[in-house]
């Protein structure tokens, strides 16, 4: 029995470690993406003021209540948000473990009171209750040594409470889980619809992950009503946007439009994010 | 019996580890949520129902650099809002850049003083529509945009998946309720709401949990005035001498994209 328990423990730890490893792994490419785009970001978003070469803009500069990460096709974010919703449903009846545990640590007399109040609270709980009951029992056992008379009865009561709570919790959890799964499915569908709407203020400076990110990829050689012919020579290239021109430009005025000529390339000034950038255009 | 229950306890504790760990990463309802939610609601409704107000927002944000180092930049913005369709934002960035954002019910205009440039686009309609268009379509950086919407309460409600009452604090300039919330969009936020009959946010901290380096945005909001001067002149923009009119990048790109897709349909290159 003991060796079986040990094996189970080892297995659990392995599974848990693997779970952590997968999580780290999953976040890796995303973080890498951020850094990978950093080159573009630092170059593109200095906003004319980055004297030390510092990037001046990032996701937090937008001050939105959304993250543009979701808009960028990170579907896992969406899924997590659904899990968040389902989790909330399930946890509606959960007890919070933190505060009661701290209480039980501090003093025998308080233990008895908090144990009682925990018992009341934990009737409505599920898995977390089991953990609470265990810690209550442990605490109560330690109380025995100092408060034999009181705690003896208390322990018995606790064990009974714990047993009945556990049974109740298991039943609750089972039906709750079933409900959650159903909720989660319908919530998933709803979430996918809502997500785009809710995420409208997620900010991503232009070029954060390289040109074109966060914007429709603009094919070049398109002459707009704006008067600018955006982009380079071939249709496969996306428009180039830079925060600072690579040279001191020659200003050329054509009609009511200003063009900036730099090393044989032509640019137009545009407003992006909260500063001025230059977009490559065809020669006027 | 004692030994058996000990083993059972050990087994349950082991089983509980991944469950509790997983719970730590997802928002859960807290006992203080019933206390926190009404304050969020009251705060958002108070702002949404105001006909006009002005406020000074001193804000900062982390920008994670390529090296991983986080650098904070900031700015001060003075917002004057008059519903249903007027808004003026004066800003000064930490690098000294100054500018304006103005909506007069017909056009959205941004002006950058140091470069003496402005960009303007027609957007007749309400302030709500203009703000969403400016942020979503023009991609203008517009911190705390949802706070200015008349739909602020529903915007907030649809995002928040959990909320906590942290504490009552008195070290702010007015006593505040400190709340913490999590959204389904991977954004955590904290807000300090003034106690009393003017439940306005005095401080906001937003953490972008899913972004590299988990950068934060913070804002201190002061000088709330719910009876500011909102004469038409405040929302009129006259380009200064020599100011160059430029376009919003998003508009240039949209035109380019549309033209490109048109070309594609026509079989041209």
pLDDT tens track for A51-60: 567 888 889 9
| Secondary structure of B63-96 in HEC code, one letter for each residue | EECCCCCEEEEEEEEEEEEECCCEEEEEEEECCC
The mean pLDDT of chain A is 58
pLDDT-above-70 percentage for chain A: 25
Q: Which residues of B touch A231 (CB under 8 A)?
A: 256
What helix, strand, coil percent values describe chain B, rounded to 5?
30, 40, 30
| Bridge partners, B45 (sequence order) | none
- Cα angle A165, A166, A169 (rounded to 5 degrees) comes to 85
Where does the pLDDT of residue B38 fall: very low under 50, low under 70, confident under 90, or very high at 90 and above? Answer: very high
In this prediction, residues A185-214 reach a mean pLDDT of 62
- Residue A35 CB neighbours (<10 A): 16
Segment A157-168 mean pLDDT? 69
Mean pLDDT check: name the lowest of A72-76, A175-179, B28-32, B46-50. Answer: A72-76
Q: Which residue of B has its CA nearest to A225?
A: B255
Position B200 scores a pLDDT of 98
Nearest residue of A to residue B205 by CA position?
A63
Task: Inspect the interface and report whether the beta carbons of B97 and A80 lie closer than 8 Å.
Answer: no
Q: Answer whether A213 touches B (CB < 8 Å).
A: no
CB-based contact A131 B13, cutoff 8 Å: yes
Which of B79, B67, B56, B32 minimizes the C-alpha distance to B181? B32
Which of B194, B158, B142, B156 lies closest to B173, judged by CA? B194
- pTM greater than the 0.80 cutoff: no
**% of residues, chain B, pLDDT over 70:** 83
B139–A87: do the CB atoms touch at under 8 Å? Answer: no
Query: Does the beta-carbon distance from A60 to B62 stay under 8 Å?
Result: yes
Distance from CA of A188 to the nearest CA of B (A): 12
The model's confidence at residue A200, banded by pLDDT at 50, 70 and 90, is: confident
User: Residue B65: its chain A contacts at CB < 8 A?
Assistant: 38, 42, 54-55
If pLDDT is split at 50, 70 and 90, which confidence band does B70 have?
very high
CA distance B182 to chain A (A): 10
Inter-chain CB proximity B12 and A38 less than 8 Å: no
Fold held by B2-249: outer membrane lipoprotein receptor (LolB), chain A (2.50.20)
A67-125: pLDDT as tens digits: 876 433 333 222 223 333 333 333 333 233 444 434 434 444 444 444 444 444 544 44
Cα(B202)–Cα(B220) distance, rounded to whole angstroms? 6
Q: Tell which wins on pLDDT, B106 or A192.
A: B106
Residues B240-267 have pLDDT tens digits of 999 999 999 888 865 555 555 555 555 4
B142-180 pLDDT tens trace = 999 999 999 999 999 999 999 999 999 999 999 999 999
Cβ-based contacts of A273 with chain B (< 8 Å): 139-141
Q: pLDDT at residue A23 above 90?
A: no
* Structural domain spans, chain B: 2-249
Task: Indicate the pLDDT class of residue B224, thresholds 50, 70 and 90.
Answer: very high
Q: How far is CA A141 from CA A112, A132, A137, A151, A278, in A?
A: 11, 14, 6, 8, 72
Q: Do A276 and B117 touch (CB under 8 A)?
A: yes
Query: Residues of A with CB below 8 A from B144's CB?
Result: 63
Residue B233 has pLDDT above 90, yes or no: yes
First to last CA, chain A: 84
Q: Is B186 close to A80, i.e. CB distance below 8 A?
A: yes
Cβ–Cβ under 8 Å, residues A70 and B226: no
Band of pLDDT at residue A28, cut at 50, 70 and 90: very low
Residue in A59, A219, A279 nearest the CB of B260: A219
User: Does A220 contact B260 at a Cβ distance shorter than 8 Å?
Assistant: yes
């Amino acid at each position: 029995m003991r060796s079986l328990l040990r094996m189970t423990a080892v297995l659990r730890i392995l599974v848990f470690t693997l779970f952590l490893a997968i999580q780290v792994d999953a976040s890796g490419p995303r973080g890498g993406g951020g850094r990978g785009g950093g080159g573009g970001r630092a170059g593109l978003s200095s906003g004319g003021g980055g004297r030390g070469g510092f990037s001046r803009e990032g996701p937090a500069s937008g001050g939105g209540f959304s993250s543009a990460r979701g808009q960028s096709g990170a579907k896992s974010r969406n899924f997590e948000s659904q899990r968040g919703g389902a989790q909330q449903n399930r946890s509606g009846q959960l007890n919070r473990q933190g505060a009661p545990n701290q209480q039980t640590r501090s003093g025998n007399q308080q233990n008895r009171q908090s144990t009682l109040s925990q018992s009341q609270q934990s009737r409505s709980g599920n898995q977390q209750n089991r953990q609470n009951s265990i810690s209550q029992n442990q605490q109560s056992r330690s109380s025995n040594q100092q408060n034999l008379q009181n705690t003896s009865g208390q322990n018995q009561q606790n064990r009974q409470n714990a047993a009945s709570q556990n049974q109740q919790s298991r039943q609750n959890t089972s039906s709750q889980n079933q409900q959650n799964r159903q909720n989660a499915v319908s919530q998933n569908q709803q979430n996918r619809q809502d997500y785009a709407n809710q995420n409208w203020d997620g900010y991503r400076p232009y070029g954060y992950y390289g040109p074109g990110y966060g914007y429709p990829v603009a094919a070049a050689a398109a002459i707009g009503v704006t008067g600018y012919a955006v982009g380079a020579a071939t249709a496969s290239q996306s428009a180039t946007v830079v925060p600072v021109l690579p040279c001191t430009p020659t200003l050329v005025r054509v009609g009511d439009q200003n063009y900036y000529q730099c090393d044989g390339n032509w640019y137009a000034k545009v407003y992006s994010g909260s500063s001025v950038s230059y977009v490559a255009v065809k020669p006027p | 019996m004692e030994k058996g229950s000990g083993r059972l306890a050990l087994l349950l504790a082991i089983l509980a580890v991944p469950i509790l760990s997983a719970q730590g990463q997802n928002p859960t309802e807290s006992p203080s949520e019933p206390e926190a939610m009404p304050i969020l609601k009251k705060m958002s409704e108070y702002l949404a129902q105001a006909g006009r107000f002005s406020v000074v927002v001193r804000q900062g944000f982390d920008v994670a650099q390529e090296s991983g180092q986080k650098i904070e930049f900031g700015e001060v913005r003075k917002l004057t809002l008059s519903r249903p369709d007027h808004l003026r934002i004066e800003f000064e960035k930490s690098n000294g850049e100054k500018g304006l954002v103005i909506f007069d019910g017909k056009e959205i205009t941004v002006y950058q003083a140091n470069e003496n440039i402005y960009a303007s686009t027609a957007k007749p309609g309400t302030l709500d529509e203009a703000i969403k268009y400016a942020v979503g379509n023009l991609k203008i950086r517009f911190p705390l945009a949802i706070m200015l919407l008349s739909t602020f309460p529903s915007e907030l409600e649809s995002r928040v998946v959990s909320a906590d009452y942290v504490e009552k604090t008195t070290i702010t300039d007015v006593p505040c309720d400190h709340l913490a919330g999590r959204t389904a969009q991977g954004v955590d936020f904290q807000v300090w709401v003034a106690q009393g009959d003017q439940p306005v946010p005095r401080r906001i901290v937003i953490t972008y949990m899913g972004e590299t380096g988990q950068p934060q945005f913070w804002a201190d909001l002061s000088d709330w005035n719910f009876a500011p001067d909102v004469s038409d002149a405040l929302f009129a923009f006259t380009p200064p001498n020599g100011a160059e009119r430029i376009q919003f990048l998003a508009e240039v790109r949209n035109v380019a994209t549309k033209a490109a897709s048109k070309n594609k349909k026509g079989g041209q290159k």
